[in-house]
């Protein structure tokens, strides 16, 4: 098994201005096994995938994704967000074996 | 007198024939002969849609789906979804649903939004078992359903 499971990453635009709609990209290291494949000995590999993703922005619930194993390995999701305040953006991924992975990034307005 | 069909003329004519065949063959291949089955969902897909959305009418429009016609890797088919529906506090896109007709999980994923999102766009990568219709359904807070679909050709089973 890979040893980097659960490493999350949030990519934000370099410059963010107030009330702009920005593009947030989030990536998680996860094998997303469907449970349909077998290993070399012919034993089925059990399903292991992220099925629940929650996005909060400054403590406020913003989005909720329900996934099946049909999402690709190392699940990637890009979505929009209105940058209304300077606050941390937190994404929590949960998998079907009870794993919970959290990653957050701070939304800050332009450096100038 | 020599045989009219000498070795040299035979090769020449067969090469010409092959070239002609290749030209006409590629001509046939380039024409849009195969556009996949029609858009109509089959019984299983209809059942999934009924379970998810009840008897509500699903209309075409307001959603765009950007996906390759032929997926180079069926384990990672990129989808880019955009909606031109308003995103205000009272009228917004509540959710985007992805349905792939021939996948083991027909209802592939659901994305629930709040107005804080600002725009209903989505970018993700999915697995596909075989060539299939990919449907995207956007649900507004008022309960309207808007859909679009594209047929995606794949060569391998990506559901591993």
Where are chain B's structural domains? 1-33, 43-152
Mean predicted lDDT score pLDDT of chain B: 83
User: Hey, are the CB atoms on A21 and B118 less than 8 Å from each other?
Assistant: yes
DSSP B44-91: HHHHHHHHHHTT--EEE-SEEEE--SB-S-TTSEEEEEEE-S---SSS
Encode pLDDT of A51-63 as tens digits. Answer: 999 999 999 999 9
* A82: closest chain B residue by CA: B118
- In contact, B134 and B107? CB cutoff 8 Å: no
Q: What is the DSSP letter of B130?
A: S
Which pLDDT belongs to residue B27? Answer: 40
CATH 2.20.25.650 holds for B43-152: no
Q: What is the largest CA-CA distance in chain A?
A: 60
ipTM: 0.89
Q: In angstroms, what separates the C-alpha of B55 from chain A's closest C-alpha?
A: 22
Minimum Cα–Cα distance from B103: chain A residue: A70
Predicted model pTM = 0.81
Q: What is the C-alpha to C-alpha distance for residues A63 and A60, in angstroms, rounded to an integer?
A: 9
The reply to whether residue A37 touches residue B160, judged by beta carbons under 8 angstroms, is yes
pLDDT tens digits along B55-73: 899 999 899 999 999 998 9
Q: Which domains does chain A have, with CATH numbers?
A: 8-106 (2.60.40.10)
| C-alpha separations of B146 from B5, B83, B97, B118, B154 in Å | 67, 9, 10, 18, 26
Residue A61 phi/psi, 5-degree rounding, is -65, 125
Q: Note the pLDDT of residue B156.
A: 85
Q: pLDDT digit string (tens) for B110-133? A: 999 999 999 999 999 999 999 999
Nearest to B138 by CA among B89, B84, B88: B84
The distance of A92 to chain B (nearest Cα, Å) reads 14
């Amino acid at each position: 098994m890979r040893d980097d499971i659960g490493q999350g990453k949030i990519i934000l635009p370099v410059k963010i201005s107030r009330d702009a709609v920005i593009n947030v990209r989030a990536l998680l290291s996860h094998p997303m096994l469907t449970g349909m494949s077998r290993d070399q000995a012919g034993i089925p590999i059990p399903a292991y995938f992220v099925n629940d993703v929650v996005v909060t922005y400054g403590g406020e619930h913003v989005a909720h994704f329900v996934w099946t194993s049909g999402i690709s390995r190392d699940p990637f999701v890009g979505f929009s967000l209105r940058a209304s305040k300077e606050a941390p953006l937190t994404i929590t991924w949960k998998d079907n074996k009870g794993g919970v992975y959290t990653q957050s990034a701070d939304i800050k307005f332009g450096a100038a | 007198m020599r045989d009219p069909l000498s070795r040299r003329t035979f090769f020449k004519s067969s090469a010409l024939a092959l070239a002609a065949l290749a030209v006409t063959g590629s001509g046939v291949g380039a024409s849009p002969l195969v556009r996949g089955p029609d858009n109509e969902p089959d019984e299983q897909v209809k059942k999934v849609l009924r379970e998810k959305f009840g008897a509500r009418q699903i209309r075409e429009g307001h959603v765009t789906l950007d996906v390759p016609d032929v997926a180079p890797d069926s384990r990672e088919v990129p989808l880019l979804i955009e909606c031109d529906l308003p995103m205000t506090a009272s009228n917004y896109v509540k959710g985007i649903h992805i349905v792939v007709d021939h996948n083991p999980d027909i209802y592939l994923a659901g994305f629930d939004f709040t107005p804080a999102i600002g725009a209903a766009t989505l970018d993700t990568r999915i697995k596909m078992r075989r060539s299939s219709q990919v449907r995207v359904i956007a649900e507004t807070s008022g309960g309207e359903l808007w859909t679009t679909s594209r047929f995606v050709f794949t060569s391998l089973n990506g559901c591993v």
